[in-house]
Amino acid sequence: MATVPRSVERASRRKKRTIPPLENGDHLDQKTFHERYEAMPPGTRAELIGGVVFIMPSPQKIAHGESEPLFSSWLNEYRVETPGTRLLTHSTTIMGRKNEPQPDACLVILPECGGQPWGNDDDYLHGVPELLGEVSSRSESIDLHEKLAEYEKAGVLEYVVVALRTARVYWFVRRRGKFKEMKPGPHGIYRSEVFPGLWLDAEALLRGEWKQMAAVLRQGLASPEHAAFVGKLAAKRER
């Protein structure tokens, strides 16, 4: 069996040692950030937002641990009933030279169905997702300021922030190139403009009431708008 020469091993170790660790507030381009991120210890979670590094805290409080699975489950129920869409959670998303976020949830339309983002041979998501979602506690200020501004510039179509400290859901939709905060409709229900049938009872989410969330979502999935959207995605796939 062939062995690696010791000189090559030493050179490889020296190269690894020369990669500086990520620090909060570092100003980096996406390529440099990605290289340093891959060299960080397992379990590290960091994001590049507008060319600035944010290292996310590992400990999470109970409210975050309860709300995030509900939020992801809600999106996953929609994905299952909407062929041509994909849900990713905590996935690195490479969005240009200054942004590499790792959002809590990301709902996208598949490229063959007309979607914006795509997967490369590196198995990372590239491009701009249609919908990004964050469940925020400690990161609430970042999610509602730095991320909001960068996602708007990048071309994200919808951005949902579940702000736990203030017990509020923010839903931003892209209109004329700018984010506009969308207000809930009758009975406090949010209705996605990009993903027809994706309906959310925000108060139920904040209270942790999955049955109510699921019931409202099922109403959206049964709507004519959702059926038309599924048909549209299928037609694009067949072209």
- The answer, yes or no, to whether residue 15 has pLDDT greater than 50, is no
- The answer, yes or no, to whether residue 159 has pLDDT greater than 60, is yes
Element (H, E) at 77: helix 62-80
Q: pLDDT tens digits, residue range 67-119? A: 999 999 999 999 999 999 999 999 999 998 999 999 999 999 999 999 999 88
- The answer, yes or no, to whether residue 129 has pLDDT greater than 80, is yes
Q: Which residues of 110-143 are buried (b: 16+ CB within 10 A; e: fewer)?
A: beebebbbebeeeeebebbbbbbbbbbbebbebb
CB 218 within 8 A of CB 226: no
Residue carrying structure tokens 């730095």:
146
Q: pLDDT tens digits, residue range 171-194? A: 999 999 999 999 999 999 999 999
Q: Partners of 118 in the beta sheet?
A: 126
CA–CA dist 154, 218 (Å, integer): 31
